[in-house]
Structure 1
Amino acid sequence: MPRIRLLPASVTAVAVALAVVVLSIAAPQAARARIFDPTTFTLDNGLQVVVVTNRRAPIVTQMLWYKVGSADEPRGKSGLAHVLEHLMFKGTEQYPDGQFSEIVARNGGRENAFTSYDYTGYYQSVARDRLELIMKLEADRMENLALTPEQVRTESMVVLEERHQRVGNDPASKLSEMTSASLYLHHPYGTPIIGWENELKSITLEDAKAYYERWYAPNNAVLIVAGDVTADEVRPLAEKYYGPIPRADTPARQRVQEPEQSAPRRVELESAQVGQPQVAIRYLAPSYRTDEDGSAYALEVLSEVLGGGPTSRLYRALVVEQAVAASAGSWYSPERWDTTNFGFYITPRQDIDIDKAEDALRAEIEALLKDGVNAEEIEDAKQRLRANAVYARDSVFNAPRIFGRALTTGQSVADVEAWPERIAEVTPEDVEKAARQVLRPDHSVTSVLKSKPTS
């Protein structure tokens, strides 16, 4: 079985930056020329298909995204989405006992899978003449997954061990879990994707089968194929292998709404395992889907102004000028089905007290809210985003990841292609308004990671 990747609670600045970078362009005129120039169509059973031709290498990547993630799990069954991701490699009647992975490897391909709050995805990269093979394999397990009670118990324990390694032995991950649970008082985004230990132990074969049958259906999925292939070549293969799978009566997502918050929260963790202390401040923020006035795009520009590398405001002020930080920055994750978060972080220098570093970070936030931003730094931020687009189409992975995240969290292909134009329209006034709306103490959680002396 391949190495399974779990996407953490905040998809991190790196993942978000990838979406921003790849969708950037050199000028608004180029945006109208289309960035990825995809072809999209929908099969009769509801499967949406997106094809992006990329001739840079004779390979193709198939990514199948399901519109379901850990936030859609039944209450009390946290970790089920990730456990099922593992179970999808256990086999079908036609390809039992892990043959899926063996066949992909034998044909020179590589594969993996990932789980997040709002989606679960599976992908394979192979030589272009092996596309039909991996389509046949992936379509088979969409419909015919065969499981046993022992397999469910085993994979639940595998995920539990994964939790011990990733969370139990990592103070930063422990703190992140507690921070998310504090930021989201009621919404399932406050529950870790990997699940709580006691609930992982309770997952049964019936749980796994019910979840699979409820959500894993063509009308609840997006198939994205990118690489040395055209839509004319993909369509007949998709119709042949995915087309016969019947659509299911997949329900609409039932998500509880986060209640109004009225007080800032603070979470601290001290451990001898901590080498570098850190302070982070997270605020609730709109996602693309929940954004009502275009502030999501302004928040992306704001994050670039504040934390976009060594020329950004926070790095320049806290690392270079005041010399209180080894690193400092910001992040924003707009690709969520529901309310997301905007955050800041600072890692103090070894000779700087953590409280002093936190005070310096908060002073920069206050300065932002009081003095706002200027046109020059907004234009510089947008230019940095556009400049990074030079290598946008170099990898066959970029387009599937961008479109997959967008189409499983409420956006459309048109939204993805229009991103550069919407960013170009952001003004300093838009950024200042978004900052005032989001950076509210009563909607925030401060997390502090401290080093505990060993003697």
Structure 2
Amino acid sequence: MAFVLVPVSAFASDNEAVTYFTLENGMDVVVVEDHRAPVVQQMVWYRAGSADEPKGSSGVAHFLEHLLFKATDKLESGEFSATVSANGGRDNAFTSYDFTAYHQRVAADRLELMMEMESDRMKNIRLTPENIETERDVILEERNQRTENSPGALFNEQLKAAQYLNHRYGTPIIGWKHEMEQLDLQDALSFYGLYYSPNNAILVVSGDVRPDEVKALAEKYYGAIPANPDLPERLRTEEPPQTAERRLLFRDARVAQPYVSRSYLAPERDTGAQEQAAALTILSEILGGGTTSYLTEKLQFDRQIATYTGAFYDGTALDDTTFDLVVVPTAGTSLQDAEDALDETLTAFLQEGVDAEQLDRIKLQIRAEQIYARDNADQVASRYGRALAIGLTVSDVQDWPKILEAVSAEDIMQAAAAVFDRRASVTGWLMKEGAAQ
């Protein structure tokens, strides 16, 4: 199958100049042109994250991310990042539930060098038992620093595990410690061999580039790598109907500030059907998007029982995600009183509905943020790569601003009524050890 350059900017004139094509081996390529500065961002996204790991090997996706900075058939261990740095650039990588991404930001005339090195480690990493032992210690120390040393992180890990009854989103991205300790060379190579192939990858190049130049380089370096004919269909275990609300108390002597957290199972963005996710995105801004939000006004200013309130939703996921609420009570306010006040406020919101002026203000703010985001090549590339990695299309990304703009007050209230189902919720209290319940 030959590839064809398809400019999609005509579909949404207010968006970036984007070109999309697919190499013969199945690798998707997105080019976002921005000629204001002579720099370029290359990102390679693999449709494989922690939720794709085999049972019992939690953390292997993140472990492998670390190992890709070791030696390949052409580069010695550490030489990849050293070369990027020597050419005036910077590089990094990250792992999520649904994808793993590697990126470099360099001068535009260094793009070919970046493609040569990135395509090399797509298939040619050279691991040793010493690499495994050393890097396993590194990720265990990372877990110690980011999770074990943080009561809030441990609390959130337990909340997530309670939210998902049958889905891998309930397993931490970094992994459960006892399983991380057992990760070995075969675990890493099996995950690498199965998922690290061009037909499971997305190349996003943004910045001072031309589509035809990117096409030629992509075909030269990535196009020469054969597709994996054994790439499995991306199937996930599904959540059963959630019919019982869950509660948990997390006590830790290190807790300085107790708080209440509530999560609800919520739908994600789906290709061609992003309207409900758009309504939930704006709902999170209405309820917890800063000092003018509904929760802040009611709980911090009017009743003065909270020092902080928040509402969070990110629909960029392959499967059902969560809508989250947080209330940090003032000194002297119990967690029970804070939770009761949260429930009373949500009930009042569902009765009162959306304030038209606030909705207009939030939409204006979202439009401004989208315009400013175009000045950051990293953010632009990330927006497209993240979307394609979870099954959305370039057109879905381009349509997203218009879908957000079209959200009505009625859409938001319907989404709120659907998502605030206590049977699909988890409520947690983060408490100091020894505190009364």
TM-score by length of 1: 0.90
**1:79-98 pair list within 5 angstroms:** 79-98=59-78
Q: C-alpha separation between the residues in 2 aligned to 1:324 and 1:290?
A: 41
Deviations 1:221-279 (A, max 9, x none): 10011111121221111111111000112111121011111111112212232222221
Larger deviation, residues 375-384 vs 281-290 = 375-384
* Equivalent residue number for residue 233 of structure 2: 252
* Equivalent residue number for residue 25 of structure 1: none
* Equivalent residue number for residue 206 of structure 2: 226
Q: CA deviation at 1:356?
A: 2.0
Q: C-alpha separation between the residues in 1 aligned to 2:40 and 2:368?
A: 27
Q: C-alpha separation between the residues in 2 aligned to 1:414 and 1:33?
A: 12
Q: CA deviation at 1:453?
A: 6.6
Larger deviation, residues 410-419 vs 35-44 = 35-44
Q: CA deviation at 1:31?
A: 8.6
* Equivalent residue number for residue 48 of structure 1: 28
Deviations 1:87-117 (A, max 9, x none): 0000211102221111111111111100000
Q: CA deviation at 1:203?
A: 1.5
1:380 aligns with 2:358: no
* Equivalent residue number for residue 110 of structure 2: 130
Q: CA deviation at 1:369?
A: 2.5
* Equivalent residue number for residue 277 of structure 1: 258
* Equivalent residue number for residue 158 of structure 2: 178
Q: CA deviation at 1:330?
A: 0.3
Change (3 A) 1:77 1:346: same
Tell me if the contact between 1:152 and 1:205 (Cα under 8 Å) persists in the aligned partners: yes
* Equivalent residue number for residue 268 of structure 1: 249
Change (3 A) 1:420 1:290: closer
The one-letter code of the counterpart of 2:38 is P
Larger deviation, residues 403-412 vs 228-237 = 228-237
The one-letter code of the counterpart of 1:125 is R
Count of aligned pairs between the two proteins: 425
Q: CA deviation at 1:374?
A: 3.9
1:367 aligns with 2:367: no
Q: C-alpha separation between the residues in 1 aligned to 2:312 and 2:434?
A: 30
The one-letter code of the counterpart of 1:195 is G
Deviations 1:390-425 (A, max 9, x none): 412111111111011100011000000001111122
* Equivalent residue number for residue 410 of structure 1: 391
* Equivalent residue number for residue 323 of structure 2: 342
List runs of 5+ in structure 1 lacking aligned partners.
1-29
Residue of structure 2 aligned with 1:110, choices 90, 101, 109: 90
Q: CA deviation at 1:310?
A: 1.3
Change (3 A) 1:351 1:118: same
Q: C-alpha separation between the residues in 2 aligned to 1:199 and 1:123?
A: 28
Tell me if the contact between 1:31 and 1:421 (Cα under 8 Å) persists in the aligned partners: no
Q: C-alpha separation between the residues in 2 aligned to 1:133 and 1:277?
A: 50
SS in 2 for 1:219: helix
* Higher RCO by CA contacts (8 Å cutoff, separation 6 or greater): 1
Q: C-alpha separation between the residues in 2 aligned to 1:214 and 1:34?
A: 39
Deviations 1:39-80 (A, max 9, x none): 111111111111111223221110110000000001110000
**1:179-258 pair list within 5 angstroms:** 179-249=159-229, 250-258=231-239
The one-letter code of the counterpart of 1:45 is N
Larger deviation, residues 380-389 vs 408-417 = 380-389
* Equivalent residue number for residue 423 of structure 1: 404
Residue of structure 1 aligned with 2:131, choices 146, 151, 158: 151
SS in 2 for 1:397: helix
Q: CA deviation at 1:382?
A: 1.7
Change (3 A) 1:129 1:292: closer
The one-letter code of the counterpart of 1:258 is E
Q: CA RMSD in A?
A: 1.8
1:323 aligns with 2:281: no
SS in 2 for 1:65: strand
1:450 aligns with 2:434: no
Tell me if the contact between 1:153 and 1:203 (Cα under 8 Å) persists in the aligned partners: no
Tell me if the contact between 1:272 and 1:452 (Cα under 8 Å) persists in the aligned partners: yes
Change (3 A) 1:180 1:309: same
TM-score by length of 2: 0.94
Q: C-alpha separation between the residues in 1 aligned to 2:121 and 2:111?
A: 16
Q: CA deviation at 1:201?
A: 1.7
Q: C-alpha separation between the residues in 2 aligned to 1:316 and 1:417?
A: 34
Tell me if the contact between 1:307 and 1:330 (Cα under 8 Å) persists in the aligned partners: yes
Q: CA deviation at 1:292?
A: 6.2
* Equivalent residue number for residue 140 of structure 1: 120
Q: C-alpha separation between the residues in 2 aligned to 1:138 and 1:32?
A: 31
List runs of 5+ in structure 2 lacking aligned partners.
1-9
SS in 1 for 2:327: strand
The one-letter code of the counterpart of 2:201 is A
Q: C-alpha separation between the residues in 1 aligned to 2:361 and 2:178?
A: 49
Tell me if the contact between 1:375 and 1:427 (Cα under 8 Å) persists in the aligned partners: no
Larger deviation, residues 289-298 vs 40-49 = 289-298
Q: C-alpha separation between the residues in 1 aligned to 2:312 and 2:11?
A: 24
Q: C-alpha separation between the residues in 2 aligned to 1:400 and 1:387?
A: 19
The one-letter code of the counterpart of 1:81 is A
Q: Percent identity?
A: 47
SS in 2 for 1:38: strand
Q: CA deviation at 1:140?
A: 0.3
Larger deviation, residues 240-249 vs 317-326 = 317-326
Change (3 A) 1:389 1:289: closer
1:354 aligns with 2:354: no
